[in-house]
């Protein structure tokens, strides 16, 4: 169970199978500026948050502790930086077209949000969509998740990959590349498949349609993975800016189990939910089941496929155990 729906309880970190803790792969300080929370918060002085406390509560995911202070000190400066990048990328595109004697063919600015299951990247993607749409230069912002590019459950079963759902091979990478190519080439519209978290599957004949917005945010586990061969286009080749949401894997394990327990009380109780079979578990049984999913699927995927792509990100948000961002690392230009 590698989906973004699942979530934690008790000292989950102590139950990680191999006993390893922390995140490997520290970033090269020669490539990144490391900015602490206080310094980062000062980069948007005097700019009021456009979101109310109620709006922030509506945006945050289960188990996340996002509040108006976090929005003001971390994500408002980030949205300003992203809008600056988007505006300057648009300007460069227009100047390039003028240099070539062509009409302006400016295309959407594409932002990636990557990271582990349960690290909070979906909340961050939704929040950035709202914040960026409030800046004058980027009023039209769309969000697409890579869940829609998972193979259907029937296809995963046919390929023997159901137990590896969320691993790179479980995605239709070519379809995702085609979608992003349409976006970046300025196609009038680009269509992505729609994924139901209730059904835990692709919904046939349902789509998310993007019609040349100013910004497209793409959120997913493996969006920063390299191409499978030198002859292929990597998904990350089509991003203008990428964000990796980082945390110690012991903390993520705890968040994962917390979310699983919360969903057992809520979404899992829906008779139509794929996960309804877990609704009647006791606390102890739910923790055991969640940690099984974490140790057998999500932790290996994080260590083998997700975390090693961190160095490919333009910016890394390092979270503390309470979900608050404590450090921002920005790649040097």
**How far apart, in whole angstroms, are the C-alpha atoms of residue 220 and residue 180?**
14
Q: What is the mean pLDDT of residues 116-142?
A: 94
**How far apart, in whole angstroms, are the C-alpha atoms of residue 227 and residue 257?**
32
Which of 111, 31, 64, 18 has its CA nearest to residue 323?
64
Q: Say yes or no to pLDDT of 264 above 90.
A: no
**Between 24 and 81, the higher pLDDT residue:** 81
Task: Provide the 3-class DSSP secondary structure of residue 330.
Answer: strand
pLDDT in tens, 290-300: 999 999 999 99
**Between 229 and 278, the higher pLDDT residue:** 229
What phi and psi values does residue 141 have, to the nearest 5 degrees?
-125, 130
CB atoms under 10 Å from CB of 43, counted, come to 15
**How far apart, in whole angstroms, are the C-alpha atoms of residue 9 and residue 118?**
13
Q: Say yes or no to pLDDT of 185 above 60.
A: yes
DSSP 46-84: T---SS-HHHHHHHSPTT----HHHIIIIIHHHHHHHHH
Which of 213, 207, 201, 153 has its CA nearest to residue 175?
207
| Alpha helices (runs of H) in 173-232, residue ranges in sequence order | 173-184
Average pLDDT, the chain: 88
Contact status, residue 7 vs residue 263, Cβ threshold 8 Å = yes
pLDDT in tens, 186-206: 899 999 999 998 888 999 989
113: left (phi > 0), else alpha (psi -120 to 50), else beta?
A: beta
**How far apart, in whole angstroms, are the C-alpha atoms of residue 308 and residue 293?**
21
Q: Say yes or no to pLDDT of 50 above 50.
A: yes
Q: Say yes or no to pLDDT of 4 above 60.
A: no
Architecture of domain 12-331: 3-Layer(aba) Sandwich (3.40)
Q: What is the pLDDT of residue 22?
A: 43
Q: What is the pLDDT of residue 267?
A: 66
Poorest-pLDDT segment among 38-42, 55-59, 189-193, 277-281: 277-281
Q: What is the pLDDT of residue 197?
A: 85
205: left (phi > 0), else alpha (psi -120 to 50), else beta?
A: left
- Tell me whether residue 90 is annotated as binding: no
- Tell me whether residue 116 is annotated as binding: yes
pLDDT in tens, 51-94: 989 999 999 887 788 999 999 999 999 999 999 999 999 999 88
**How far apart, in whole angstroms, are the C-alpha atoms of residue 205 and residue 194?**
8
Q: What is the mean pLDDT of residues 103-113?
A: 90
> Residues 6, 8, 14, 20: what is their CA dihedral angle, to the nearest 10 degrees?
30
Q: What is the pLDDT of residue 45?
A: 78
223: left (phi > 0), else alpha (psi -120 to 50), else beta?
A: alpha
Q: What is the pLDDT of residue 63?
A: 75
**How far apart, in whole angstroms, are the C-alpha atoms of residue 176 and residue 182?**
10
- Tell me whether residue 101 is annotated as binding: no
- CB-based contacts of 189: which residues, under 8 Å, 6+ apart? 182, 209, 210, 211, 212
DSSP 244-311: EEE--HHHHHHHHHHHHHHHHHTGGGSTTSTTGGGTT--HHHHHHHHHHHIIIIIHHHIIIIIGGGGG
Q: What percent of the chain has pLDDT over 90?
A: 70
Cα distances from 316 to residues 16, 171, 244, 329, in angstroms, run: 25, 24, 5, 5
Q: Say yes or no to pLDDT of 15 above 50.
A: no
- CB-based contacts of 160: which residues, under 8 Å, 6+ apart? none
- Tell me whether residue 121 is annotated as binding: yes
Q: Say yes or no to pLDDT of 25 above 90.
A: no
């Amino acid at each position: 169970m590698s989906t973004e729906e699942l979530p934690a309880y008790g000292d989950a970190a102590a139950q990680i199978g191999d006993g390893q803790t922390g995140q490997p792969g520290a970033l090269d300080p020669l490539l990144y500026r490391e900015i602490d929370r206080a310094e980062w918060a000062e980069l948007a002085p005097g700019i009021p948050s456009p979101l109310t406390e109620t709006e922030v509560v509506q945006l945050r995911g289960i188990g996340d502790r996002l509040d108006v202070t976090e929005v003001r000190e971390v994500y408002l400066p980030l949205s300003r930086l992203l809008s600056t990048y988007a505006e300057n990328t648009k300007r460069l595109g227009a100047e390039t077209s003028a240099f070539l004697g062509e009409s302006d063919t400016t295309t959407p600015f594409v932002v990636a949000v990557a990271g582990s299951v349960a690290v909070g990247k979906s909340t961050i993607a939704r929040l950035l969509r709202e914040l960026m749409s409030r800046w004058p230069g980027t009023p039209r912002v769309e969000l697409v998740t890579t869940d829609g590019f998972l193979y259907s459950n029937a296809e995963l079963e046919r390929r023997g990959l159901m137990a590896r759902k969320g691993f790179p091979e479980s995605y239709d990478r070519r379809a995702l590349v085609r979608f992003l190519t349409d976006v970046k080439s300025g196609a009038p519209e680009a269509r992505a498949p729609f994924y139901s978290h209730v059904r835990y599957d692709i919904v046939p004949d349902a789509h998310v349609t993007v019609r040349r917005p100013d910004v497209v945010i793409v959120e997913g586990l493996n969006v920063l993975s390299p191409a499978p061969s030198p002859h292929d286009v990597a998904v990350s080749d089509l991003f203008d800016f990428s964000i990796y949401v980082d945390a110690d894997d012991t903390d993520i394990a705890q968040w994962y189990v917390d979310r699983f327990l919360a969903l057992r009380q809520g979404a899992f109780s829906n008779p139509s939910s794929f996960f309804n079979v877990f609704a009647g578990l006791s606390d102890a049984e739910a923790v055991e089941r969640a940690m099984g999913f974490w140790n057998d699927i999500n932790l290996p995927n994080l260590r083998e496929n997700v975390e090693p792509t961190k160095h490919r990100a333009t910016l890394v948000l390092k979270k503390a155990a309470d979900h608050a961002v404590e450090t921002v690392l920005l790649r040097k230009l």
